[in-house]
Amino acid sequence: MKHSYLLFAPLLAAACTSPKETMSASDSAPTAENIPARPAPDTAQFANYRAQGVEFAASGREPAWALTGRADQGWDVQLPGDAPLRVLPLTLPRQSGDTLVYAAATPTGPLAVYLVAGGCEDPVSGEKTSHTVLIRTATARYTGCGRYLRPAGPLALHGRRWTLAAIAGRPVPAAGPRGAAQLQFDLKQGRYNGFTGCNRFMAPFVRVDARLTLKPAVATRMACPGPAMALETAYLRQLSQVQAYALRPDGLHLLHGDSTVLRFR
């Protein structure tokens, strides 16, 4: 079974050169370290965004631009010269390390948004936010700072590949015979998918606020060595027990009652 990833318009990665450079398909996804220019965000606006239900907000200056995101509406991008807000669908991002890449075709050409975890500091005020943000079009690049205004909101859950760290409080191996056990949520499709370290699985889920119900997963049937199969059995069994989720400093917690049955990083 294959992951239920959606394919976007070509993801054109970032190189930190001039603001009007042409995008190159051979570039790699940026990191916080290789985006040196981070214009100060309009952090005063963040409180207004939060009151409007915005879950993630970012902005930059010289020239001014703004990005906001909500799980129920997708992404709004306001770039210089664009009169209306451009709305991007809430598609599954591509993930490269700690960078999430959202991309879409727009009437003016391809656009990619990079949310780079690792912190971003306003060079004037010293205020820190959780993400460096890079927006790339076919002809320009815009950098700035952003943060999740609702760190435990559904948008922070969406799309990221979570790596299994513990089952019922017991640490799990970093990787199985075929790789690390993982989990991913697609809020738009209402489905979750993942990997046990041996087999892939997917199924629908229902989320109401922090409550979460995972429907029984359909998995591939590849056989693996005994320890990997034991991990898979325990992992899938605990998924069926999940009643809620919480996003905490040490990662994603899936809960049964008040107890963490699965923790992901």
Rounded Cα distance between 114 and 103, Å, is 9
Q: Say whether both 133 and 101 belong to one domain.
A: yes
Q: Say whether both 247 and 167 belong to one domain.
A: yes
Q: Say whether both 64 and 137 belong to one domain.
A: yes
The DSSP-derived string for 185-211 is EETTTTEEEEE-SS-EEEEEEEEETTE
* 12 found inside a domain: no
Query: pLDDT digit string (tens) for 32-53?
Result: 555 555 555 556 688 888 889 9
Q: Say whether both 143 and 228 belong to one domain.
A: no
Domain boundary among 115, 150, 185: 150
CATH number for position 168: 2.40.128.270
Show Cβ contacts of residue 241 under 8 Å, excluding neighbours closer than 6 positions: 256, 261
* 126 found inside a domain: yes
Q: Say whether both 36 and 141 belong to one domain.
A: yes
Q: Say whether both 143 and 174 belong to one domain.
A: no
Query: pLDDT digit string (tens) for 85-125?
Result: 678 888 899 998 889 999 988 888 899 999 999 888 776 66
Q: Say whether both 210 and 129 belong to one domain.
A: no
What is the span of the domain harbouring residue 258?
Answer: 161-264
Tokens for 207, please give them. Answer: 């989320």
* Whether the Cβ atoms of residue 13 and residue 27 lie closer than 8 Å to each other: yes
Alpha helices, DSSP H, located in 71-161:
154-157
Rounded Cα distance between 115 and 13, Å, is 12
* 26 found inside a domain: no
Q: Say whether both 123 and 173 belong to one domain.
A: no
* 15 found inside a domain: no
Q: Say whether both 199 and 260 belong to one domain.
A: yes
Number of structural domains in the chain: 2
Domain boundary among 131, 150, 169: 150
Domain boundary among 150, 173, 197: 150
* 10 found inside a domain: no
Query: pLDDT digit string (tens) for 201-236?
Result: 999 999 998 899 999 999 999 988 888 899 999 999
Q: Flag whether pLDDT at 28 surpasses 90.
A: no
Residue 34: strand, helix, or coil:
helix
